[in-house]
Structure 1
Amino acid sequence: MSGHLHGVVQTTRTDPSRVLEEIKRQTLEQLGGLPGTLYGPIEEALKADSLKGDGRNHHFEDQAALWVLRQQQASHVMAFRQHVGLGFEAFRSPGSAVGGLGGSPLQLVGEQQLAFDLDGERLTEALEQRYLRPLEMLDGRLKMLSQAIGAPAGANPSGPYRLVRAFTALYSDAQVNESLRLRLFRQYEFELSRVLGDLYARINNLLATAGYGVGMAGGAAPNAPARAAEERRDRNTLDDVFDTVPHREAAASVPHDYNGAPGAGYGGDPRAAHAGAGYGAQQQASQADVAAMASELAELRSQLHAWREGLIKAGGLPPTHQQPQRSMAPRRELRVEEVLGMASLLQPEPPDAYARALAVSGRLGETIRDQLYDGARRLGFNPDQTCFSAEEDDAIDLVALLFDSLFRNHALQDRARRVYARLVMPYVKVALTDNAVFVKREHPARRLLDAITEACEGNDGETPQDRDLLERASEISQRIVCDYNEDLAVFELAHAELDAMLAQHRRRIELQEQRAAKATYGRERLGAARSQADQAVRERIGESRLTQAVADFIATPWRHHLVQVMLRENDDPKRRAQAMALGDALVMADKLAAENRGRELADQLLALQPIIVQCLASSGLDDSAAQHGMAGLVRALSTPDKERSEHPLPSASDIEEDVAEERRLYLASGSAQVAHDPLLAERMRQLEPGDWLRLTNIQGETIAVKVAWVSPLTSRFLLVNRRGVRALVASAEELAILAASGRLLVGAERTAFDEAMRQVRRHLDRVI
């Protein structure tokens, strides 16, 4: 067996020339054809502008110049690829002139070339600002690559400067006016924005997996003495504060909520801490913040220990060598590097055991330990003579509780279980080496887990977009398994890729929320109109004795007409008053008929005829049917001794089936009569759109819901799930009843990781 533990950071690297050639190949593959994609969209835009122009804009000049450029499209593509390729040659040999773009810096520059250069500088600055973070990482890795080649550090051959210079070099001799030049730059920027994010992610990932960028500290080995000494000298970083007594004990635990505070590595081993803390620049923290964090960490760690000991005493964890208890014969505690080696050995293996454990609450931690001890046996360690340290136990339990909380409380489908099962061992390795994942909200591993949960939560794959999202999340989890080797850049690149896809998904969710709000408002307006119409019908029928024809007309066509007027023309008081007056006039006409006042009745009906026909037409009758209905009404009123009687009042409008279903799911029957806490109801009235809650239905299933909209008509709250689908519409009083019964929790966290850690802490508090 090799003396080097599998999984510990190594300095073995792929041949730099081969890596550079692969970067060149991917860059040309992604960007080589860009000039050929510019002209089509510009031509379409020019055609559209010419159609809607006022005649003063002469787009034919731009179209003529564009036509000339299109004839040279093939040569432009070849020249562009050549210029990009020269950038890589310049990177390989910075002192040579082969990578130069343009002529001598002392030559005279024409006005057109100057304009292109100025626009190119602005585009370069915009792109560098947009891709600042991946470019910084890429520059650091390329610097290490150039050192491996044995050449001075050169400019990034796929960076914005080179790409923009290659673009401007194409048109140095072309006749391009100002309008077309601006269109070319805009279209080029648009095309670059579509591919650069993915390209930089691929190159960063390629360099990281090839061994250029581990630790991101100039290529020195993570355990170099100079680096350890440097870490000890920098006393303002959390890594060093936690590496000193009295904070070393606190460093192994996690606060449930800390606003972006940086974290530290587990235990007192600066090498293990630095394996994860090498990501990015170390951040400063005030002594007060450090003290508060240390207190939070120590408290949670003590809770973890009490929870574990309680499980052992209660028989929840059998006191075997595979469980974290310290009362047995002394054993050697495994070092972090050794546990990392076990985890790295297990990382690429099928995650079936973790998937099964996620299906049973509380089994994941036991399964992780079983698998790690199995890896220990394969690496030659005797489990009877070794045990996990307290810090390692904490890391395992926190990851197990975190994943269990995510799967229990975020409406994840069974098909997402394998996605999370693959990530268990990589996140155990993160927890062992980088405590910041639990305290720093911007930590890449934390953000990736948030993005994966966002992609999977409530996603049943019904639509093609949802299926694509699930497939991408699955691919990314597999990529983490394949590529993660203590370099957190893998998580950041994976998050950037998934987040770009989720941006479109969030837009769809936003539109879904807007549609749900509009549909709910429409239902409320319809319900209010029907209630007012029913009240108007009751007032006119009431205890009056009417002919059957008049009563039927008021109860059906007139009521429907009244609802339509209230919905469509509620802002027109004249139309509303006219519709109301029709009902009163029909009651009066029936009274005139009963009193045998024929002349007055005839005058009344003649005056009402246009309005009655219009009322019948609003119910969908054509002119002939409306006239026939009018004739039936006249016949009924023409006989004074026609039977008249009291008529039943209309019943309340039925609730729509989907509304009734959601009320059966979340609100117990008769909730309107259940007393509510006025103070709690007042607290609910303070909820605003964007607030997150946790809602539990009658069957005990809990989902995260957001206040998407507050009705200006009824002040009810529209609650939607994370997919933007309506979950419940309820009043403040109904929400107060739900909260009092423990089925509504106010103040849920916005991100899945934050909410999961909150649930973990609540679970520990409840158990202890």
Structure 2
Amino acid sequence: MHTRKQGLRDGPMNHAASPPAGPDVVVYTEIVRTTLAGSGHLMERVIEVSRRALQAREDQARTPRESHSVMHARQHLERVAFVLFERFAGALEQAVAKGADQNQTATRSLFSVQFDELELMDESQLSENVERARARQSLAEAVTAPLAELNALMSAAQGQSSVDPGHNPLQPELFLQAMQAVVGQMQPSDEVRRDWMTHLAEAMGAELRTLYLQLIAQMQESGIKPAGYAVRQQGGNYVYVKPAGEEGHAPGFGPEAAPWCRGDAQAPAKPAAGTDHTLLTLHQLRRLLRGELADGPTPEIPFSERFSREFESTPSHAAAPSPDFDITVPAAFEALQEMKQVDHMMERLGNRGPLGTTAAAATAPQNPKAALGQALSMEVVALMLDNIARDGRLLWPVQQLVKKLEPALLKLAVADPRFFSDKDHPARRLLQEMTDRSLAFESIDTPGFESFMQPLIDVMGPLTHSSIEDQEPFGHALDQLLDAWATREKKREHERLRAIDALRHAEQRNLLAARMWQEMRSLPQIEVVPAEVARFLLGPWTQVMAQARLDDTSGSNDPGRYREAVDALIWSAQPQLTRINVGRLARLVPKLLSRLHAGLVAIDYPPTDTERFFELLMQLHQQAFEPDRSAQAPPPSHPKRSKAPTMETDEPWIAPSEAVESGFMDALADPQPGNAADEALDPISTGIAPHREMAVGTWVNLQVEGKWERTQLSWIGSHGNLFLFTNTYGHTQSMTRRLLDRLVARGTLQIISGQTVVAGALDAVAQTALRNSLDTGY
């Protein structure tokens, strides 16, 4: 589907397409054009600053190896500087031309690593993620304040009443993307690329800050006033807050763009300030997820002995150093540092109370690698549970239950450290079921909450005091919970399945009808019948033929002989033809009307619409018995017949019985039709994730007949044009893609949870590891 906004986002000047071409738009267009045209010279200055920085590092190098490494990076940069300069402008134009989808994804968060994808990454991908995050951080520190003001001016120049960073095609993220693209084309080694990007990002930040300040002054001199930031209130309305001054921030870029800093309802809470998690980096977390730190056979040469041989041996051994001495020394000291961090982490866990002491005492392997793995496992569990317990979407009784699970899960982290990376592990499923199902309740007073909580309380008590040696206690608890909830939700599930069956049937019929529409549309006679008849044939009657095909078991080419009725209807709707053979018309009409009526009844077509069409048909038939006056008087001037209506395949037709079964919300019967304000509300600009990011299981607040209710996306049609929501009472609401777009834009459908609570908590763990990697070099 192409939304109303999509046509505006196809090129560098896309955002200027929506408002009328006023003086502010002229200024905006000229600024974007000249900035893109001069971006190559900006990159030239960035390269020169970086080259000088590398030269200074080379001059200050303490070892020959460091000097040689930096010199190699500098010389390589000098060789390709002209190519980087020449290609940058084109790369930036391409980055800008990709429009809002890329911009939305790229600026969503500085920390974009997902926990469940980390295990699949190789060392190069890890390095690139850390490098990209470090570069973004460097740019964010330089441009945060001027970028906020520039975003406000850019939005205002395009006639927007609120600030949308997506309306600024000069976002720093796009400059960074273009720079990374042209650097990648030079195919530098990982070490050279890291050296380059460290200085290129810093220099780019300084250049962009200067550029933004110049553009701000230019737009202010042109009389452009900044727009305000739209903030959604609890009731769904918006208030517009003017951008802050020099200390303001630019939503959508830099550290403040992390989900927990945006007040995003679906984001986990920010880790506690001041907590030291230096043990956890992306590199170590990936090792843990891959099982590289699992307890195994003792190495042939223990680490302590290797360290003694390499670095504490007698002077006679020192005369014959290992050929990889430069590599071995830092690796050995890194290992020693890791073990110190293990001790610190165990001490922190012990400070959490008896549960931490118990878990820490269980971690006493002789193998240092296994000790590190167990310590990391416990660190991940502790962080994950902290994120879940502080998640603002969860009601406080659920948060308390999560905290009570901590002793058992810390023990499990030692016995089975991969439980958090295995989506089907009973412990992870238990956490996921209890937290996600709890989102159905807006408060502890919501009907059904007590019956939801009681099984949880019954199960959690024994589990928190169990001796955890494997996953079995969690599997038993999960089975108990699912059985208890299944009894309570039996009616809810029955209604949901009935609704899904109705929508699936409608979807299949609409797919068949679309094919039949193509066949009917190619008939030459369809252009000469009255437009109302053409609409009937291309609309309801294709549904009739499709329904007959779905119900048919005989293999007939024309089940119900409904296709045969098409030719008869087309002939009977042309008075200039029926006058020639009135007798045939008299014989045809009873059979035709009977067949039309039977077909419309088969699809439960509304009786009022049926009567209206039959009245029109009778009027056309009556004209056959009236004299033809066309030969007695000049033919009247008729307006040119409009073409037969086109079919909107993304807006399926739902039969009334199917609408009742699924609680269908008809966009045409929407009591609040779209207006100018609705059209101006872009899902991206309002901060609400568009439906394309919604998955089955997503909880939303939906306004139905003026009242808000909590409901869950429980089914999406195979072609993505039908959606079904089910609330905790089993009541269903279904809608088309078009209506969903409209409700999201209007703010009457608000996403509560875009991903599972556990997945969000684990992603936050990966984000913590990424932040630590920026500081430690991972």
TM over 0.5: no
Rg: which structure is higher? 1
TM-score (norm 2): 0.34
TM-score (norm 1): 0.34
Higher relative contact order (CA 8 A, sep 6+): 2
